[in-house]
Structure 1
Amino acid sequence: MGRFEALLGRLNRRRRVLGFCRSGLWRAEDRVQLAAGVVLFMLFVIAGPVGAGFAAHAVYDAGVRAEQHQKATRRQVTATVVRPMGDPDGPGPAPPRTAVVSWTDPGGGRRSAGALLGLRHRTGETVRVWVDRSGRTTHPPQSRSTTGLRATIVLVTVPILAGALALTLHRLLRAGLDRFRYRRWDREISHLTPHL
């Protein structure tokens, strides 16, 4: 037997194992389970990455728009620490380093608000804080690295969720078909028991 015939023999065995044959041992529910498994697998292989790409692109675009909006509506001001808030040397976990700061707004008026500062600061020190259009303290504009990180998380998470969904659907289908098989076998066996 040549190599070609051996290859055809292996392919024919695979075809029969996968249920593409007229064997009486393969019932309709076996073929339904196989077809559903193939469809769910193909959806996972094809739709998972494509959906992840679309979702990551949408998250990235939304992040870039948020960056641009925040850069246009926020500015940094030089403020003076009026008084630190909280007792960093007190009992329990150290609180975030917050302080009441004051600054002069563009109209010449004095503003003050609480701000989250990265380091300990003493009263009278100058610090840079971010404020929005209304003059409230806020966090810095979103960075491009944050936008990229969020898009990457979506890019990784969507295929995992798609795979989990496909696997769950296949297991539910298999459990339903197994119950159907067991009832069918019980009926067939009950027909045999009077003859035993």
Structure 2
Amino acid sequence: MSAQDSPHASGSRRPRQEHASHGKNPLRRTSDRVESWCSGLLLLVLVLGLPMASMSAGLTAYASAMRTVQAQSAQRHQVTARLTSAPEAAPGSATDEKHKAQVSWTGQDGRQHTATVRVPLNKTAGSTVRIWVDREGTVQDPPMSAGNAKATGWVMGGMTAVCIYAGLVAARKGTRWVLDRRRYAQWDAEWDLVEPPWSARFRR
């Protein structure tokens, strides 16, 4: 065995490295730990809470919209109405644009009803159109469809997700802002203690 390989060879030994245990970093301040905990909590809310909240909001909005669909479908029905006058178009109007015209129809109670509705420009007096009315014979818009209810659910779920994400980002920035203000205050206080003796060395 050579002298270089001998465990008793002369020379200084390498300093033994001591690894700080996890979470025992002496340079890590309390504010750093608080910031780390808050970041972990916000990340947990983002990963678990955001999907659950957005899905819950979307399903709730969809269920509410479907109740509206069922109610409107039960209250409204289509009837065939006859135009009593041709639609009048303003100059320069598009041919596929709908315009107001008078129509009349016989309700379920046998009474004659009249109303003003929007019909295509190619309709003439005496032609028929299909319109939606309620039980009282008042002209209404078509009832909401199941597709509209699904779209409402998706939109509400997406808006909820965006709002939660924006709230978490704001909370993250607000937490860092508060902690930074405290850090700056601590640095100022420590500098007030260190600066006088440190500056005095250069005044001698």
Q: TM-score range by the shorter chain?
A: 0.7 to 0.9
Local SS of the residue matching 1:103: strand
Please report the TM-score for the alignment, with normalisation by the length of structure 2.
0.78
With over 3 angstroms needed to count, the CA separation of the structure-2 counterparts of 1:84 and 1:38, relative to structure 1, is: farther
Mapped to 2, the partners of 1:188 and 1:122 lie a distance apart of 89
The Cα of 1:72 is off from its aligned counterpart by 0.8
Match of 2:154? 152
Local SS of the residue matching 1:107: coil
Residue in structure 2 matching 1:65, options 64, 67, 90: 67
8 Å contact 2:31–2:179 — kept in the other structure? Answer: yes
Mapped to 1, the partners of 2:118 and 2:27 lie a distance apart of 71
The Cα of 1:84 is off from its aligned counterpart by 5.3
With over 3 angstroms needed to count, the CA separation of the structure-2 counterparts of 1:95 and 1:178, relative to structure 1, is: farther
8 Å contact 1:44–1:159 — kept in the other structure? Answer: no
Residue in structure 2 matching 1:107, options 100, 103, 109: 109
The Cα of 1:56 is off from its aligned counterpart by 1.3
Local SS of the residue matching 1:83: coil
Matches of residues 4-19 of structure 1 in structure 2 within 5 Å?
none
| Percent sequence identity over aligned pairs | 28
Mapped to 2, the partners of 1:138 and 1:181 lie a distance apart of 64
With over 3 angstroms needed to count, the CA separation of the structure-2 counterparts of 1:100 and 1:29, relative to structure 1, is: farther
With over 3 angstroms needed to count, the CA separation of the structure-2 counterparts of 1:184 and 1:106, relative to structure 1, is: same
CA deviation string 1:94-137 (max 9, x = no partner):
975332322111122111122234x3233322100000122111
Higher helix share: 1
With over 3 angstroms needed to count, the CA separation of the structure-2 counterparts of 1:32 and 1:96, relative to structure 1, is: farther
Unmatched runs of 5 consecutive residues or more in structure 2: 1-18, 200-204
8 Å contact 1:130–1:140 — kept in the other structure? Answer: yes
1:185 aligns with 2:187: yes
8 Å contact 1:40–1:166 — kept in the other structure? Answer: yes
Mapped to 1, the partners of 2:118 and 2:35 lie a distance apart of 57
With over 3 angstroms needed to count, the CA separation of the structure-2 counterparts of 1:98 and 1:31, relative to structure 1, is: farther
8 Å contact 2:89–2:99 — kept in the other structure? Answer: no
Match of 1:3? none
Mapped to 1, the partners of 2:118 and 2:29 lie a distance apart of 67
Mapped to 1, the partners of 2:135 and 2:45 lie a distance apart of 47
Mapped to 1, the partners of 2:194 and 2:173 lie a distance apart of 31
Mapped to 2, the partners of 1:84 and 1:184 lie a distance apart of 82
Mapped to 2, the partners of 1:41 and 1:98 lie a distance apart of 56
C-alpha RMSD of matched pairs (Å): 2.4
Please report the TM-score for the alignment, with normalisation by the length of structure 1.
0.81
The Cα of 1:82 is off from its aligned counterpart by 2.8
